Structure 1
Amino acid sequence: MIGLVIILLLVLFLPFFVKQVEHNLEVFLFIMGIAAASISGMMSLHLVEKALVDPINITLAVLIAGLLCKWLQVPLEKSILFLIKKMSMPIFLALTVIILGLVSSIITAIIAAIVLVIIINVLPLDRKAEVRLTVLACFSIGLGAVLTPIGEPLSTITISKLDEDFFYLFRLIGPEVIPAVIIFGLLTIFLVKPVESSCGLESEQKTESYKEILIRSVKIYLFVMGLTFLGHGFEPLINEYIIGLPPALLYWINMISAILDNATLAAAEISPAMDSETIQAVLLGLIISGGMLIPGNIPNIIAAGKLNITSKEWARFGLPVGLITMAAYFIILLVM
């Protein structure tokens, strides 16, 4: 148990304090996953096979969607310019947030974030409006991507640990997630006040190379593989200290997802021994709070990195939106 606690603390905090770990997170998590599975006695040929197979679907989805995004970038940009001439800007922005959120479970959160960057690069808007649009869209993408196991690593790991079917998460949290995606889209009409400007977010408008697409796909494979080992390695710790906690407490504890990658937390917390109410509370706490700050979710990291959004800019808008959403869902799901 002591060994697992030490590994958990290393996984949660080393990426913040050691730059080499932050820049090589996939390799670090793979090593920590092997260590956790070995120390806990969970390492077996079955687990190795599972760790090799589980990342395949999401890796292929990221690779194929990345190639399509590269090949279709120019037509996409032309389509965006055409659409903003045919409809009002508020409606276009709302539809952007809703559609990216809903399709992220198919094209993956990573590709949805890249498409978002392409769209924002085309829009001649001021910086404040574009920052707010980016944050709301990443909340939407982070929520929608969880509905299938190919959407993002969190959903891949959850399905793997629970050994459930492809549409399990859609059934479990779809009724909560889909309305939230639509609400985030509608919020852009009221919270994003676009002003035509040439001083928007500064970013390099370039098409990704095949090498970048391939490297990203390999990293995703290694990332999910490491999380598979990590999740199963932490099972004794989960069974001892997590399973007995009430869903409401787990929901708020998972606000730490704002500063820690939510896929890592899902690997550490979720267990097949949990009932559906607890799993629902854990997942919603992770995916909602994951949008509050840049480190909380993969779409945030990609969009903020490519658009040069600072942590302060993100937090100024993302924290209040996330806290209000957390409180609303707490009342609806766990109090009423």
Structure 2
Amino acid sequence: MIIGLIIILILVLFLPFTKLVERNLEVFLFIMGVAAVIVSQAFTMDILKEALIHPINITLAVLIAGLLFRWFQAPLEKAILTMSQAIPYRLFIGLFVIILGFISSIITAIIAAIILVTVLSVLKMDRKSQIWTVVLACFAIGMGAALTPIGEPLSTIVIGKLNEEFFYLLKLIGAYIIPGVIGFGILAALVVKTPDKNKQNKLSNQTKVEPYSEIIIRSLKIYLFVMALTFLGAGFQPFIERYLLDLSPLVLYWINIVSAILDNATLAAAEISPAMSNPVIRDILLGLIISGGMLIPGNIPNIIAAGKLKITSLEYARVAAPIGLIVMIIYFIVLLIIG
């Protein structure tokens, strides 16, 4: 079982960067997910039911958002362009990333990701600026959404498992998350390239209406993507429970870098226990939350944004993996100092 799961983990980490798998990423991850639950002998009817039901809400949200943007494209574009031109462009991008990161804890990470792709679809950034903004915004959303049990499944599971009150995570990790979200916003403002306003208006007027078929196909791909991640998480859970849970929290902090390809909610469910102290829970959660932004499968916002804006796994990883690693190191040093 161990050898089989390690092989699957390696394949999931590296094959998405090949052209063949990149074009069929959802199918590839689905096959790997099914293989994982078979190898670990974790396949049950309950897991199958969860895999079929879990993606429905996400898929519907993406489908409805795609349809609404198509139907109200002109007024939405006008409103977004007006806001982006009312204040300095870099300031607009920085504030947009910061605000999106914080409100994701209230409106959910899914809705925040949909807002992100809607705005970026209108702004018509150059490719480099667009990828950097997506990556930094997804990091901010992934971190901010963890502050309340509304924001994302990870925080919902942790609050439920620990039987804690609504603002528990805000009190526990808020002092670490809030500076991180602000930092990603500042970095976005610094790296983005200010477009020519006349060119921006001209490009906006040339925006094509997205066909219904593309909206539906993208929604179905996201359904298959989330279903695949559910299987992967379930397949690796027995391995995690057997070999990882007795490790030091700071060791788990680094091992949780696998959250870049596995569902961090599943990892949190396996690793977090009411018997743990707050510092231990803090260390584990920060590792899960930060590393979730490093690759496309790591978080739902990454999946939604990359799918809509056609960002490849390699394009995303070139920016996100180094940033995520640097942020992991910074937070690790902070945790060592604080203890």
- TM-score when normalising by structure 2: 0.71
CA contact (8 A) 1:15 1:25 kept: no
CA contact (8 A) 1:129 1:194 kept: no
CA contact (8 A) 1:38 1:233 kept: yes
Q: Per-residue displacement from partner, 1:14-68 (whole Å, max 9, x unpaired)?
A: 6336544433333333333333333433333333222222222222222222322
CA contact (8 A) 2:106 2:145 kept: yes
The separation in 2 between residues aligned to 1:308 and 1:25, in whole angstroms, is: 12
The separation in 2 between residues aligned to 1:125 and 1:230, in whole angstroms, is: 34
- TM-score when normalising by structure 1: 0.72
Corresponding residue of 1:214: 216
Letter in 2 for 1:91: L
How far did 1:325 drift? 2.6
How far did 1:238 drift? 1.1
CA contact (8 A) 1:158 1:267 kept: no
Corresponding residue of 2:270: 271
Letter in 2 for 1:214: I
CA contact (8 A) 2:159 2:166 kept: no
CA contact (8 A) 1:157 1:227 kept: no
Letter in 1 for 2:5: V
Corresponding residue of 1:261: 261
Letter in 1 for 2:251: L
The separation in 1 between residues aligned to 2:28 and 2:187, in whole angstroms, is: 38
Report which stretch shifted further, 228-237 or 290-299: 290-299
Would the alpha carbon gap of residues 326 and 72 (structure 1) be closer, same or farther in structure 2, given more than 3 Å must change? farther
Identity of aligned residues (%): 53
Letter in 2 for 1:230: L
Corresponding residue of 1:81: 81
Structure 2 residue matching 1:271: 3-state secondary structure? helix
CA contact (8 A) 1:33 1:233 kept: yes
How far did 1:93 drift? 1.8
Q: Per-residue displacement from partner, 1:190-233 (whole Å, max 9, x unpaired)?
A: 5556364759xx99943432222222222222222233233223
The separation in 2 between residues aligned to 1:221 and 1:192, in whole angstroms, is: 31
Structure 2 residue matching 1:41: 3-state secondary structure? coil
How far did 1:71 drift? 2.7
The separation in 2 between residues aligned to 1:82 and 1:118, in whole angstroms, is: 14
Corresponding residue of 1:172: 169
Would the alpha carbon gap of residues 48 and 163 (structure 1) be closer, same or farther in structure 2, given more than 3 Å must change? farther
Would the alpha carbon gap of residues 308 and 33 (structure 1) be closer, same or farther in structure 2, given more than 3 Å must change? closer
Q: Per-residue displacement from partner, 1:285-323 (whole Å, max 9, x unpaired)?
A: 344345456776565576568768798987786566444
Letter in 2 for 1:271: A
Letter in 1 for 2:88: S
Corresponding residue of 1:250: 252
Corresponding residue of 1:31: 31
Structure 2 residue matching 1:234: 3-state secondary structure? helix
Would the alpha carbon gap of residues 291 and 196 (structure 1) be closer, same or farther in structure 2, given more than 3 Å must change? farther
Would the alpha carbon gap of residues 100 and 212 (structure 1) be closer, same or farther in structure 2, given more than 3 Å must change? farther
Report which stretch shifted further, 266-275 or 77-86: 266-275
How far did 1:77 drift? 1.4
Structure 1 residue matching 2:208: 3-state secondary structure? coil
Unpaired segments ≥5 residues, structure 1: none
Corresponding residue of 1:8: 8
The separation in 2 between residues aligned to 1:192 and 1:233, in whole angstroms, is: 39
Unpaired segments ≥5 residues, structure 2: none
**Residue 67 in structure 1 maps to residue 64 in structure 2:** no
* Equivalent pairs, count: 328
How far did 1:92 drift? 1.6
The separation in 2 between residues aligned to 1:188 and 1:283, in whole angstroms, is: 24
CA contact (8 A) 2:232 2:262 kept: no
The separation in 2 between residues aligned to 1:170 and 1:15, in whole angstroms, is: 40
CA contact (8 A) 1:132 1:317 kept: yes
Q: Per-residue displacement from partner, 1:88-120 (whole Å, max 9, x unpaired)?
A: 333322221123334556776576556545544
Letter in 1 for 2:33: G
Structure 1 residue matching 2:270: 3-state secondary structure? coil
How far did 1:243 drift? 1.2
CA contact (8 A) 1:262 1:287 kept: no
Letter in 2 for 1:42: A
Would the alpha carbon gap of residues 21 and 130 (structure 1) be closer, same or farther in structure 2, given more than 3 Å must change? closer
CA contact (8 A) 1:294 1:300 kept: yes
CA contact (8 A) 1:261 1:295 kept: yes
Which runs of structure 2 are paired with 1:1-336 in the superposition (5 Å)? 1-2=1-2, 4-5=4-5, 8-9=8-9, 11-13=11-13, 15-16=15-16, 19-104=19-104, 112=112, 115-116=115-116, 119-120=119-120, 122-123=122-123, 132-145=132-145, 155-156=152-153, 171-172=168-169, 175=174, 176-190=176-190, 192=192, 194=194, 196=196, 198=199, 205-255=207-257, 261-263=261-263, 267=266, 271=270, 274=273, 275=276, 280-291=282-293, 299=301, 321-336=323-338
CA contact (8 A) 2:61 2:110 kept: no
Would the alpha carbon gap of residues 95 and 249 (structure 1) be closer, same or farther in structure 2, given more than 3 Å must change? same
Letter in 1 for 2:86: K
CA contact (8 A) 1:162 1:271 kept: no
